[in-house]
Amino acid sequence: DHIFEKVNPEMEKQGYECKCLGGGKIEHNSKDKKIRVFGLSTGYGKADHSVTVEILKKEYADYEITWSDDKK
């Protein structure tokens, strides 16, 4: 919720209505070009990590991007 709480007010100023659908963590290894999406938010539960991965693939097409339900 730390990121959502920081971003949401600015998004609302721009006319967007935001809702947090879940959370997790992203581990970014730029040296090996790997990104791992995992975990959950204690306040919001787990996001749909497969959706997160699809968004990341658009920007990081040359990376190996994986996701799991692991907490660590």
Is 35 exposed, middle or buried (CB count within 10 Å of its CB: 0-12, 13-18, 19+)?
Answer: buried
pLDDT attached to residue 1: 63
Let me know: does 23 contact 66? Beta carbons within 8 Å.
no
Contact 39, 26 (CB under 8 A): no
- Report the top-level CATH class of 21-68: alpha beta
What confidence score (pLDDT) does residue 3 get?
Answer: 87
In order along its 72 residues, the chain shows pLDDT tens digits of 688 899 999 999 999 999 999 999 999 999 999 999 999 998 899 999 999 999 999 999 999 999 998 888
Q: Where are the domains of the chain?
A: 21-68
Torsion of CA 29, 57, 19, 7, to 10 degrees: 50
Q: What integer pLDDT is reported at residue 49 of this predicted model?
A: 97
